[in-house]
């Protein structure tokens, strides 16, 4: 009968001795985090370089086309110049030169790439490995994680906002400034930090936003038609 039973003791011993358990060790998580962050930085820089290159290549052709439509004279960019610029820009030795010619579009591309890739391949992976492979007594009973609750329940501000859905009992409360919230909603997390110094998240509006809000209400009435009675912002979410 023992042949058909699962040997849990041997399975636990294998897991303790297996290299898979390295993913729960602090030294391995730090090493992975450093290497993965460096890789993400290089990938983000190359994505930004490609976008910058496309802008630099397409821009002159658009200008030449406009000039041709206006004057009938074709002055297209030299193909050899385009190829030489491409080879220079894509050279790995010149990868950091993109930082000195960032524009609005390329700057946004770089920031978005860094945020998304670091969230997915550094923070999220390290968090998952730590939860799964660290040394601890585990069983099938545990509290639900914030991201698991977020997948099931609707996210609503914790104050000063109307909610159109059905009333119910709050399941969980989380602040909008924490690393844990960044792992779930990175753009909403960033927006909370942008609003905070302006006074938009206070219980009662304060700071710069309190001064300019009357002007915004007057000039953009449609944007604030459902917020006329709102006197403050929110820090967290239910």
Structure confidence at residue 35 (pLDDT): 92
What does DSSP assign to residue 143?
P
Q: Are 14 and 123 in contact (CB under 8 A)?
A: no
Please enumerate in sequence order all residues whose Cβ is within 8 A of that of 95, keeping only pairs 6 or more positions apart, or say none: 42, 45, 46, 49
Strand residue runs (E) in 5-132: none
Mean per-residue pLDDT pooled into runs of 10, the chain (238 residues): 54 59 80 91 89 81 74 73 76 81 85 89 85 62 72 79 71 80 84 85 83 81 76 81
Q: What pLDDT is attached to residue 104? A: 85
Which of 187, 167, 179 lies closest to 238 in space, CA to CA? 167
pLDDT of residue 1: 43
pLDDT the model gives residue 95:
81
Strand, coil or helix: 125: helix
Q: Are 234 and 159 in contact (CB under 8 A)?
A: yes
Are the C-beta atoms of residues 143 and 207 closer than 8 Å to each other?
no
Exposed / middle / buried, residue 28 (Cβ in 10 Å: 0-12, 13-18, 19+): middle
> Given this model, what pLDDT does residue 38 score?
92
pTM: 0.51
């Amino acid at each position: 009968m023992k042949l058909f039973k699962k040997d849990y003791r041997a399975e636990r011993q294998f897991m303790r001795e297996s290299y898979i358990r390295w993913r729960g060790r602090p030294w391995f998580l730090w090493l992975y985090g450093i290497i993965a962050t460096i890789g993400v930085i290089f990938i983000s820089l190359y994505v930004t370089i490609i976008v910058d290159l496309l802008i630099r290549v397409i821009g002159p052709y658009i200008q030449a086309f406009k000039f041709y439509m206006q004057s009938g004279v074709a002055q297209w960019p030299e193909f050899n110049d385009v190829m030489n610029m491409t080879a220079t820009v894509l050279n790995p030795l010149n990868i950091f030169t993109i930082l000195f010619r960032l524009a609005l579009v390329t700057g946004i591309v770089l920031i978005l790439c860094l945020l998304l890739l670091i969230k997915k391949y550094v923070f999220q992976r390290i968090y998952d490995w730590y939860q799964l492979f660290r040394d601890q007594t585990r069983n099938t009973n545990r509290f639900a994680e914030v991201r698991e609750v977020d997948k099931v329940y609707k996210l609503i501000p914790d104050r000063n906002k109307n909610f159109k859905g059905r009333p119910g009992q709050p399941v969980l409360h989380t602040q909008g400034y924490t690393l844990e919230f960044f792992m779930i909603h990175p753009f909403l997390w960033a927006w909370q930090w942008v609003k905070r110094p302006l006074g938009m998240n206070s219980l009662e509006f304060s700071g710069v936003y309190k001064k300019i809000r009357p002007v915004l209400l007057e000039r953009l009435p449609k944007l604030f038609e459902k917020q006329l009675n709102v006197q403050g912002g929110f820090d967290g979410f239910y």
